[in-house]
Amino acid sequence: MAEEKAIIISTHILEEVEAVCSRAIIIDQGRVVADGTPEDLAARSKFRNAVTLSVGPQHAKQVREALKTLPNVKEIRERSSINEAVTFTLLPKEGVSQLESLTALLAEKDWDVRRMTIEAGRLEEVFRECTTSDAVPGAIDERVAAKTAKKEGKPSPDGKTEPKSGAAQEREAKKS
């Protein structure tokens, strides 16, 4: 496709976005709340650099306790599966990589590790985060939030109230 051409796809199937799009725009209630490459948007996810580790059930208790001691871990999620493996997902603090401390821990233990993956982030989670808040200051893309605030005469993300745009003033005058 030529660089000066664009194909617009409107979808809620985010796997399609990741597979075929070079740019993604998330719109919530008529407002652009995020704009970037799918990779850039996924990197905003709380799952960015999250590590998922599956271990045999015989080591689950030991692993659970040891994972609690790792630095840069904000949250640990645990689930058991049908094949009896216990899976832990470690959510990082501020997107920091946990791989080095986790691999050092695993190197000194003799646990039955069945699988380990690192996440690049979840576009679906970013989409959900962007579209479940009605607050303009909570929008992920602060530039868009500031523009929207100015149009509506609301406080911008930096706390300053901007005068309404001419179009917004005209709409209010018509309502009166």
Query: What CATH number is given to the structural domain containing 77?
Result: 3.30.70
Q: Are residues 72 and 114 in the same domain?
A: yes
Comparing 87-91, 119-123, 137-141, 149-153, which segment has the lowest mean pLDDT?
137-141
Mean pLDDT across 26-35:
92
One domain for residues 105 and 127: no
Looking at the DSSP bridge assignments, the partners of residue 34 are 26
Nearest alpha carbon to residue 46 among 87, 89, 79: 89
On whether both 104 and 55 belong to a single domain, the answer is yes
Is 7 domain-assigned?
A: no
Pair 56, 106 in one domain: yes
Same domain, 76 and 105: yes
State the pLDDT confidence band at 136, using cuts at 50, 70 and 90.
Answer: very low
Range of the domain at 73: 51-118
Domains identified in the chain, total number = 2
Residues 57 and 113 in one domain: yes
Q: Supply the pLDDT for residue 155.
A: 63
pLDDT, position 167: 54
pLDDT at res. 63:
92
CB atoms within 10 A of CB 59: 16
Reading the block at residue 69, the tokens are: 């001691």
What integer pLDDT is reported at residue 137 of this predicted model? Answer: 43
Whether 18 and 66 share a structural domain: no
One domain for residues 113 and 133: no
From the number of C-beta atoms within 10 Å of its C-beta (0-12, 13-18, 19+), residue 49 rates as buried
Q: Assess whether 55 and 86 both reside in one domain.
A: yes
User: Based on the domain organization, do 113 and 148 belong to the same domain?
Assistant: no
**Rounded mean pLDDT of 59-77?**
91
CA 41 to each of CA 13, 18, 36: distance values in angstroms, whole numbers, following the listed order:
15, 10, 6
The yes-or-no verdict on residue 3 having pLDDT over 70 is yes
For residue 119, pLDDT over 70 is answered with: yes
pLDDT score of 77: 94
59 and 99 both lie in a single domain = yes
| pLDDT value of position 25 | 93
CA dihedral in degrees (23, 24, 30, 34; nearest 10)?
A: -100
Q: Report in angstroms the alpha-carbon separations of 5 from 2, 21, 62.
A: 5, 13, 55
If asked whether residues 58 and 114 sit together in one domain, one would say yes
